[in-house]
Chain A
Amino acid sequence: MRANVPSYDLRVPENLPEALALLAREPGTWQPFAGGTDLMVLLEAGKLAQKRFFSLAKLAELRGIEVTADAVTLGALTTYTAVRNDPALQAEFPLLCSAARETGGIATQNRGTLGGNIANASPAADSPPALLAYDAELELISQRGARWTPYHGFHTGYKKMQIAPDELLGRIRLPRRARPWRQYYRKVGTRKAQAISKVCFAGAARMEAGTIGDIRIALGSIAPIVLRAVKTEDALRGKRITPAAISAAQECLAGKIAPIDDIRSTARYRLRVAQNLLEEFLLQLAR
């Protein structure tokens, strides 16, 4: 434990207006604290520079999963365990359940939240690729009101987000698709469980008689942000899945991702495996 614990403040606003007032009054001073599974690790390593936090624990508006005709909307405080257990998500958004299942272990899943995962903005996060594959939208709330923004484009650089200093992530909306898409999720980690991802791939496609009607491809751990491979999607949209199409897509992907060497893995490995996962996804679509 390398932090000066007595110097850290963690307040608990009683309700959402109180929390938003705090953010409005002192923007940039107070950081939201959800499950703590990322922030407490930084604290213990002596690397948590931010000293003032406010807990979201009492903000009921940030909890719950709501199913309407158009969408499934999750509160930012939805835990991975809640994601895994939700029937609507299991039925229509299984990639998110797969991602939740692959995040840490059961203990982490009981505390970690989807909102915290998004706000922590790690390029190695497990859920964001699934969110991108589902065209997720984020609700950002402040004293000034609420706005919705697509999750795609929310991260602008390593740990940089399109969120104002007085805003709080409120809900995540997943538009329901008219017909089910084919879906694929694979995380390649350092071991089978409790692992940080080396490469993470989420893919979804609407097939029309052997042709790709529409497609989403999202990857983690291969760039400073979680990435939607838009150019690769464009290259595949409207195509039949042939060996040539797969190769072309793999080459396109290689040109767009920027994996690195780090203490867990190498750029060459990440690139190669990302391409292999793309191929595996496409071959599954072709069956």
Chain B
Amino acid sequence: MKEKFLGHSVVRKEGREKVTGRARYVDDLAFPDASPEMIHGATVRSSVARGRILGIRYGDGIPWHEFTIVTAADIPGKNEITLIEHDQPCLAAGMIHHPEEPVVLLAHPDRYLLEQARQAVHIDVEPLPAIFTIEDSLSGREIIWGKDNVFKSYRVNKGDVDSAWARADVIVEGEYRTGAQEQLYIENQGMVALASPADGVTLWGSMQCPYYVHKALTLLFGLPAEKIRVIQAETGGGFGGKEEYPSMIAAHAALLAWKSGKRVKIVYDRAEDMAATTKRHPSRTRHRTGVTRDGKLVAMDIDFVIDGGAYATLSAVVLSRGTIHAAGPYSCPNVRIRAQTVATNAPPHGAFRGFGAPQSIFALERHLDQVARAVHLTPEEFRRRNFIRKGQTTATGQVIHEDVDLNALLDRALRESDYHAKLERFARENPGAAVKRGMGLACFCHGAGFTGSGEVTLASVVEMEATREGCVRILAASTEIGQGTNTIFSQIAADALGIGCDRIEIAQPDTGAVPNSGPTVASRTAMIVGKLVEEAALALKRTLLESGLLNDACTEEEFARACQSYIETRGPLRSRSQYEPPPGLHWDDATYSGDAYGAYAWAVYVAEVAVDTVTFEARVTDFVAVQEVGKAINPALAAGQIEGGVAQAIGMALYENVVWREGRMANGQMTNYIMPTAADVPPIRVFFEEQPYPFGPHGAKGIGELPMDGPAPAILNAIENATDICLREIPATPENIMEAMTEKVGAHG
């Protein structure tokens, strides 16, 4: 198959709409000629972290008779937002388990009056003791979920860690923490709903996974699948933050629509979005690592805990990914990972790019720099002595079948970043300098697609349909959220069919019209769904070839004529492809071992930092990201993913601090939750290596989440190189750097 488009930086398919302001996001949608009228919806939430609901009072001065008011009692089906467990209600009734928990919904045509009304509803709650930290949750002093506050635990056992310590010359321990992080997509969450017993439920909104919303609403309303229709509007960023939460806001909009008979729009303002929606799981990782005196890993004992907030949601899956990535791209014969996700009385934490891996990889890559130091090796040399190679096994016992060459990636990263020369120069210049500079690195991998048998369970489907004009429409539930889904699907299909990219149409993700190609998460869209797009395109072409209406080497005009001819004489020209797992993958859920992912992307990142000893601010001044990705389907889009992910991870490492007060985010405004501006980001220099993955489209692996994993540990490693302070927690705020530097000076007298 010719690669006319694949591997080229084809311009973004919906780019023109975006640069002209014509792209329609949920808050832009107008339904001018269709009745019923559209009214606004708002959510009344608990201000107490935990307690018993005693009553709801509706204040004076509001014309309540004009309002649609919905409580749990109005829910036709199950009062539940279904994900894995069945613990999270759509609207709280009886008990409150976290601040901002939704209790009452209101709708009215006047959005100013609606806001006054929202402020006039009082939820009376008898408070119960609440817990807010991992330690408090594990202590058992207050049980807030299940029998022991533990949503899920996993255990990975490779070899025999307990007997391996005897063979270690040096043992190093460390504890590392990461805080919550807000996804901070620039478009706030929103949904528009139309719902009635006669017509069913229709939703338009900002989301990553139309079929997740679909499933949640069938259960909420007790309606069959064909009565719920979910349509994705142009979505202004997701990063995982629009994986689970849209089901909640969709449910709310739909309930108000159901009761009012009107079209209802709920769009959050930034304060509500930050306060009430999901964040990255905070984590605590404890490492105990045994190495020989020449720096070979002998035993790794890892304790990994993540805070899931008040309900289970997807914490078990976040835990899974974090667990599997916890021991990194290294060969170690004995590995034990004990992992748990626990409940606290905070709004549930959720998916955020990386999904557990950034947390566990932060701990590992910080820790390995300490281990290297303990055996008098450089960070670089220690990694080289332990990198996993073809034929060796990961912590879960997965044999690496590809010719992974992390040494080569490391070589390239060090070369591109001028690492050694800078290390040497900074070592010379730092003494006496007000601004100290340093270099740090991180080596890691990220598995693409759902873990283990997840993709088989998803059984994703893509359909394709040709038009009389010779255009081909792709029907998939995979959403464009900025990462380039529309564009790469077009490229893949165009090359497979031998027609122009502009002849490919992407159907709007609408559960009424497209099959379930699975959620737009887990770095799976290019690798898994892209492959299905390719197969469906090839199948469609095959149908035409077998019909005799077309030769393989055809022009676009011939293709169009063949489509027209086929459709006129034989009916619709369609194809369908469904996921089949690559051969030889085996995963055992019971022992948590085996082939966790079909493919890993591999990476080495290098950060250069400057630490100002007057203000204690750390800045990243240069960043090099080298990764092996199978195949960059669209190099500009692929680089865009890495650049954006690195910037988000720089935020995670240095700037983004969620300030918690009694389970609620106290700094829930953009003024006080700090993400990097154009003035804060360094040059981010991206380099790709390509070693095709046989089961991805043209060899592509997934890369969306990869860039989130490496920057934070590389940056803190660089800060240590610059200043000798050993920070083990992110974000590394200037306040924390100051305290660490002061302690260090104090310790030396």
- A interface with B by C-beta (< 8 Å): 1-6, 41, 44-46, 105, 188, 190-196, 198, 263-266, 268-269, 272-273, 276-277, 279-280
Contact with A along B677-694 (1 / 0, CB 8 A): 111100000000000000
Q: Given the interface contacts A264-B672, A265-B735, A268-B738, does A273 sit within 8 Å of B615 by beta carbon?
A: yes
Residues of A within 8 A of B127 (CB): none
Cβ of A40 to closest chain B Cβ, rounded Å: 13
Q: Is B677 a contact partner of A194 (Cβ separation < 8 A)?
A: yes
B271 within 8 A of A: yes
Q: Determine the distance from Cα of A266 to Cα of B115 in the docked complex, in whole angstroms.
A: 34
Q: Which B residues are in CB contact (< 8 Å) with A279?
A: 614
Which residue of the partner chain, among A5, A105, A191, A276, contacts B112 with CB atoms under 8 Å? A5
Q: Given A2-B115, A193-B680, are A263 and B666 also a contact pair (CB < 8 Å)? A: yes
Chain B residues with CB under 8 Å of A1's CB are 111, 115, 269
Are A263 and B616 in contact, CB atoms less than 8 angstroms apart? no
**B75 CB → nearest A CB, Å:** 27
B674 within 8 A of A: yes
For B679, list chain A residues within 8 Å (CB).
191-193
* Chain B residues in 8 Å Cβ range of A195: 674
Asked whether A45 lies within 8 Å of B659 as measured between CB atoms, the reply is no
For residue B734, CB closer than 8 A to chain A, the reply is yes
Q: Which of B269, B434, B616, B680 contacts A2 (CB 8 A)?
A: B269
CB pair A269 B614 closer than 8 Å: no
Q: How far is the CA of A191 from the CA of B733 in the complex (A)?
A: 11
Cα A191 to Cα B677 with chains together (Å): 8
Q: Interface code B635-674, partner A: CB below 8 Å = 1, 0 otherwise?
A: 0000000000000000000010001000000110101101
A45 to B269, CA, bound (A): 10
- The A interface, classified by DSSP as helix, strand, loop or mixed, is loop
Q: Does B547 reach chain A (CB closer than 8 Å)? A: no
Chain B residue nearest to A264 in the complex (CB): B672
B455 within 8 A of A: no
- Shortest B663–chain A CB gap in Å is 15
Given contacts A4-B112, A192-B680, A269-B735, contact A263 B659 (CB under 8 A): yes
B667 touches A191 (CB 8 A): no
Distance in angstroms between the alpha carbons of A276 and B271 in the assembled complex = 35
Give chain B interface residues in 69-105, CB to chain A under 8 Å: none
How many angstroms between the C-alpha atoms of A192 and B682 in the bound complex? 12
Given A1-B115, A2-B269, A269-B734, verify A276-B678 contact (CB < 8 Å).
no
Q: Which residues of B contact A105 (CB under 8 A)?
A: 677
Please tell me if B124 contacts chain A, counting CB pairs below 8 Å. Answer: no
Complex-state Cα separation, A268 to B738, whole angstroms: 9
Contacts of B655 in A (CB 8 A): 190-191
**Contact A269:B616 (CB < 8 A) given known A4-B112, A263-B666:** yes
Identify the closest chain B residue to A194 (Cβ).
Answer: B677
Question: Would A6 and B112 count as touching, CB distance under 8 A?
Answer: yes
Q: State A279–B434 Cα separation when bound (angstroms).
A: 12
The 3 closest A-B pairs by CB, nearest first: A192-B679, A193-B679, A269-B735
Select from chain A the residue with minimum beta-carbon distance to B665: A263
A-B contact pairs, 25 of them (CB 8 A): A1-B269, A2-B115, A2-B119, A4-B115, A6-B112, A46-B115, A46-B119, A188-B615, A193-B677, A193-B679, A196-B671, A263-B659, A264-B672, A266-B735, A268-B735, A268-B739, A269-B616, A269-B734, A269-B735, A273-B615, A273-B734, A273-B738, A277-B614, A279-B614, A280-B614
Q: How far is the CA of A105 from the CA of B672 in the complex (A)?
A: 15
For residue A3, give the distance in angstroms from its CB to the closest CB of chain B: 8
Q: Provide the residues of chain A in CB contact with B614, threshold 8 Å.
A: 273, 276-277, 279-280
Q: Which residues of B contact A264 (CB under 8 A)?
A: 667, 672
Extra contacts, 16 of them, besides A3-B112, A279-B614 (Cβ < 8 A), are A1-B111, A1-B115, A4-B113, A41-B671, A45-B271, A45-B669, A188-B615, A190-B672, A192-B619, A193-B677, A193-B678, A196-B671, A196-B672, A269-B616, A269-B738, A273-B614
* Bound Cα distance from A196 to B667, whole angstroms: 13
Cα of A276 to Cα of B209 in the assembled complex, Å: 51
Shortest beta-carbon distance from A117 to chain B in Å: 16
Q: In the complex, what residues of A have CB within 8 A of residue B113's CB?
A: 4
**A8 → B minimal CB distance (Å):** 10
- How far is B495's CA from A16's CA once the two chains are assembled, in angstroms? 70
Contact of B116 with A191 in the complex, beta carbons under 8 Å: no
- Chain B residue numbers with a CB within 8 Å of A272 are 616, 738, 742
Looking at the assembled complex, report how far the CB atom of B393 sits from the nearest CB atom of chain A, in whole angstroms: 43
B166 → A minimal CB distance (Å): 45
